[in-house]
């Protein structure tokens, strides 16, 4: 696998262990390019909830990628 392929695989692996709502919000924002407003309307959330889910998702992914890197796995 090339480096972008490895990173994508690790990202998907980290996302698989994330809370379902945070995963959905993160995917809609970062992969589907929806705005916070669009996500809030689509999922029936407040903007504050969308912001919190994005923050939670980023922290989760960062922790998981760090663990994978230290272990040399993923």
Tell me: the pLDDT tens digits for 40-53?
999 999 999 999 99
CATH number of the domain that residue 47 is part of: 1.10.10.10
Q: Where do runs of H (alpha helix) occur along 1-74?
A: 3-16, 20-26, 36-43, 47-71
pTM to 2 decimals?
Answer: 0.84
> Could you tell me the two tokens for 32?
């589907």
- The answer to whether 15 and 61 have CB atoms below 8 angstroms apart is yes
Q: Does residue 1 register a pLDDT over 60?
A: no
Structural domain boundaries enclosing 47: 3-71
Structural domains counted in the chain: 1
């Amino acid at each position: 696998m090339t480096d972008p392929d490895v990173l994508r695989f690790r990202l998907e692996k980290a996302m698989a262990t994330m809370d379902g709502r945070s995963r959905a919000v993160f995917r809609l924002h970062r992969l589907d390019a929806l705005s916070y407003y669009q996500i809030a309307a689509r999922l029936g959330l407040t903007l504050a909830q969308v912001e919190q889910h994005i923050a939670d998702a980023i922290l989760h992914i960062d922790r998981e990628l760090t663990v994978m890197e230290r272990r040399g796995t993923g």
